[in-house]
Amino acid sequence: MFDTGTTAFMILATALVVLMSPALALFYGGLSRRKNVVNTMLMSIIAMAIVGVIWVLIGDSIAYGGADAFDENGNLVNIGALFFGGFDRLFSTWSLGEIFDANALVSDDSTLASCAYGSYPSTVSIAFQASFAMVTTAIVTGSLAGRIKFGPLVFLVTLWPILVYAPMAHMVWGSGLIGSEYGIGAIDFAGGTVVHIASGVSGLVLCLILGVRRGYGLLSYRPHNVPFVMLGAGLLLLGWFGFNGGSAFIADGNAGLAILNTLVASCAAVVCWAIIERIKTGKVTLVGASTGMLAGLVVITPACGFVAPWSAVLMGFIVSPVCYFAIAFLKHKLNYDDALDPFGCHGVGGIVGAILTGIFCIPELSWTDFGGLLYTGDPSLLISQILGVLTTLAYVIIVTGALGLITKALFKGGIRVSTEVENEGLDTALHGESAYPAFGGLD
C-alpha cells in the first residue's frame, strides 16, 4: 500500500520545487534592467511550461527508463545506458498501472504492497522530477538575458532538457556513468552536478555563442528592483527545502538532516558574503546578501544528506569568496557576459559543492563504500567527485555548444535581437507590454 504520509511529503516537496521557477523569475526580474524585466521573467516561465510538457512525454523515459548499464556482477552490458535511458516510459502512461492495480486489489480486499513504487506513487515521482527539470532549464536563461530572440529561446529550452538535463539525470541518478557504483561512483544528493553545474556551464557556453550585451563593460547594468531580488531569493530558499529535503524520498531523519544543512549553509554563506562586501567596498548590500544565500543553497545541494551540520556551515563560508571572485572579478577579466550570473553562482558553486562532498561526506551516509577524505583518509570518493565534475563539464560543454551553434544556424538573422530592439527594450519590442507602464524615470 502507498504510504500516505510519504506520499503527502513528496507532494508537498514537489509543490515547493515548482514554486522555485516563479521565484527564480522574480529573482532574475529584479536583477534585470527595467526595460527587459517582462522578457526576463517570461523566459523562466516559458521554460517551466515547456519542460513540464517535455518531461511527461519523453524526459522521464530518457532519464529513468531502459535497462541498466551494468549487470549484478558489475559487468558493462549496455554502453548506451551509461548516458541515456530508454523509450519504454514514453508519455508516462506506464505509471497508471499502479493505480489500476491498486483499485483492483482494493476491490479484492488484498494487500497493496506489490503495486507500490517505493512507498509513494510513481505519478508523484514523475511530477517531482519534472519540477527539477523545470527550474534547472529556467536557470540557464539568466545567462541570456537582455539580448536573445524569443523564438530561438523557445527552441533551446525545448531541446536542452532532452539533450542535456535528462541524460545528466540518467548518468547521475539513473545508474549511468557518473553515479553508478560500477562507473565513476560519484554521489549527488539533490543535484550539484545534474542541476547546478549543468545549468551554470550551459549558460556560460550559450552566452559566449550569443555575445555580450550592447555597451557591456562600458555601461552600468544595475538591478532595477532590489526588493524583487530579495523576494525571489526568499521564495527560492523556501522551495529549496522541498528540493533538498524531498530528495530523501521519505520523511525520515535523512530528510531532516538535508533540510537543516540547507538552512545553515545558506545562512553561513550570507554572513561570509556580507563580510567580503564590507571589506571590499565598505558597504553590505541586499543584492549581495541574496546572492550569497543562493550560493550557499547551491553548494550544499549535492552534500545536504551526506554531511554534518558543522560541515554545511563550513561549506557556506567556503563558497562565498569563490562565487564572489567569479562574479565580481573573473567575469569582467575574461569579458564574458553571464548576464544574471548563473555560471558564477550555480556553475561555480555546484563545482565547489560536488568536490567538498568528497571531503566532508560521513561514511555511514554515503551511497557508496567510500566516505569523505576528512573521515577516512581515503581519497577514493574525492577522486570520484572530481571525475564526476569533469565528466559533467565535458558532456555539457560539448552538447550545449553543439545545440547553441545549430540554433544560431537554423534561425535566419541569428539568435540575437537587433540593436534597435536592444536599445528600445525587449519588453515592448518583443512582447508589447511593460512592467511599469506609468513609470517616467530613467533606467
Domain coordinates in residue numbering, the chain? 4-431
pLDDT over 70 (residue 182): yes
What are 81-123's pLDDT values in tens digits?
889 888 888 887 777 766 666 555 444 443 333 334 458 888 8
Mean pLDDT value of segment 183-187: 94
pLDDT of res. 175 = 83
What are 381-399's pLDDT values in tens digits?
999 999 999 999 999 999 9
pLDDT of res. 439 = 56
Is this structure's pTM higher than 0.85?
yes
Mean pLDDT value of segment 219-245: 93
- Per CATH, the number for 4-431 is 1.10.3430.10
pLDDT of res. 34 = 92
Give percent of the chain with pLDDT exceeding 90: 78
- Determine if residue 202 is left, alpha or beta; phi over 0 gives left, psi from -120 to 50 gives alpha, anything else beta: alpha
Q: Lowest-pLDDT range, 207-216, 282-291, 391-400?
A: 207-216
What are 294-351's pLDDT values in tens digits?
999 999 999 999 999 999 999 999 999 999 999 999 998 999 999 999 999 999 999 9
- Cβ–Cβ < 8 Å for 349, 317: no
Cell numbers that stand for 313 in this block: 556551515
Angle at 83 between CA 20 and CA 64, to 5 degrees: 55
Q: Phi and psi at residue 414, in whole multiples of 5°? A: 80, -170
